[in-house]
Amino acid sequence: MIITRKTSIPKCEIKIEENTIKQANPFKYLGTQITSDGSRIAQAKASFQQMKSIMTNIKISIVVRKGLLETFIETVLLYGCEAWTIDERMKSSWEATEMWFLRRMMRIPCTAKKTNEEILTEAQTTRQLITKLRKRLH
């Protein structure tokens, strides 16, 4: 499988002796659907929405909810990241996704005039997703 942002997926032919290996798209690996468009962010957001009642519950401490985010959501998001290349576009997309999770956990609407730094301070955290991604790559 070739994972790309392009709308048309390039054809890849791999031959071993006389046998041609076919491309599989999508396929399931360890219970997760792997697609050629690399939709990990969408899958992580869907996982977050499934746990929305817990993740946005202000009766549960933010520390516990951040632990749940790390355990259940970030694992979906970072699955297979060892094979990725990080560029600036991807980095900004991941940072936006991290803030998307935090804003919803803190119940802060996008229309609220709060900077990302204010939200990070309020959540008593720092940006960690890119750091975790880089650690897994090395």
Q: Where are the domains of the chain?
A: 1-38, 39-137
Residue 31 has pLDDT above 70, yes or no: no
Do 108 and 119 meet the contact criterion of CB atoms below 8 Å apart?
Answer: yes
CA atoms within 13 A on the CB side of 24: 6
Do 35 and 85 meet the contact criterion of CB atoms below 8 Å apart?
Answer: no
| Residue 67's pLDDT band (cuts 50, 70, 90) | very high
First-to-last alpha carbon distance for the chain, in angstroms, is: 23
pLDDT score, position 1: 46
**Which pTM was predicted?**
0.70
Residue 37 has pLDDT above 70, yes or no: no
